Amino acid sequence: MSAIIMDGKALAAKTKEGIRAEVAKLQRKPGLAVVLVGDNGASQVYVRNKVKDCSECDIACYDYYLPQESTLEELLALIGELNGREDVDGILVQLPLPAQIPEKPVLEAIAPEKDVDAFHPDNMGRLLRGDAIYQPCTPSGVMEMLKEYHIDPAGKHCVVVGRSNIVGKPMALLLLQENGTVTVCHSRTPDLKEQCLQADILVAAVGREKLITADMVKEGAVVIDVAMNRNAAGKLCGDVDFPAVAEKAACITPVPGGVGPMTRAMLMKNTLTAAQRRQKA
Ligand code: GUN
């Protein structure tokens, strides 16, 4: 069997077209502030892509670049200013931050109504409770992909590999909300292979090349690869051994061109939501 390759790039393009049409109905152009601290190469690429997405959706993008040696106080001062700005609906601080800046006070400083990443404890709590205003972009992008391909988590055994706050944990919550039976695996799971073999829907979100090999995947499973790694040759790859797993899976996401573009589209969607809510308020 050869799997259906889930085209995140095409779905993201379609999603962004829809967002642009909704943006056109607003009285004022939505605005997204993107803050990058330091010179992490991967983050620079991500931020450049977000700026491009904004322009495609007709969302104003205010990008800020702070030096590597910036302090927590300097970053908090910028966030405070952005929280108060009328033309800024959403604020995103690109992670990871330089080592001297702790993450928690930064994420807690972003006004929850402008927190389009949904990393603020208020928004994480809402997600846990099942009444999120903003869903974190990567897991919500995965849910949109499943919907597009008519894959309903209800009654399925979903295995999420990885327990990060930004992907693994919220991914498990969203699958649970859609009535999946969810197992979360992580670095201390002793029988990862056996757990993965139980999965009807397998989500890999660890960041280790070839973590998921074909012998770990049930025939006919749906395999979602959230990771973005570079292999020894410098090529982008996920956690899944794609060619071999594609022979066994029913559906699989590629890297690149799978979850990544959908993550970015969901950021645009959250920014639209923020602007719509402010217009109503
Ligand atoms: N770094 C990697 N993924 C993300 C994300 O979704 N949001 C932010 N702000 N930083 C990231």
Distance CA 9, CA 18 (A): 14
Q: Is the CB of 117 under 6 A from ligand 1?
A: yes
Per cent of the chain over pLDDT 70 is 100
Is 117 marked active-site?
Answer: yes
Distance CA 111, CA 102 (A): 17
Catalytic-residue membership of 63 = no
pLDDT in tens, 82-137: 999 999 999 999 999 999 999 999 999 999 999 999 999 999 999 999 999 999 99
Task: Confirm whether 94 is a catalytic residue.
Answer: yes
* Catalytic hit among 7, 53, 115, 117: 117
Claim: this prediction has a pTM higher than 0.75: yes
Protein residue whose Cα sits closest to atom 9 of ligand 1: 94
Atom of ligand 1 nearest to the CA of 96: 1
Q: For ligand 1, say whether the CB of 200 is within 6 Å of any of its atoms.
A: no
Q: How confident is the model at residue 281 (pLDDT cuts 50, 70, 90)?
A: confident
Instruction: For 255-267, write each residue's pLDDT tens digit.
Output: 999 999 999 999 9
- Which of ligand 1's atoms lies nearest the C-alpha of 267? 6
43, 46, 124, 268: which to mutate for ligand 1, most atoms within 8 A of CB?
46
Mean pLDDT calculated for residue range 198-214:
98
Encoded amino acid at 257, one letter: G
Backbone angles phi, psi at 209, to 5 degrees: -55, 135
Cβ contacts of 51 within 8 Å, gap of 6 or more: 34, 61, 63
State in Å: Cα 171 to ligand 1 middle: 15
Name the 3-class secondary structure at 248.
coil
| Cα 1 to ligand 1 centre (Å) | 35
End-to-end CA distance of the chain: 52
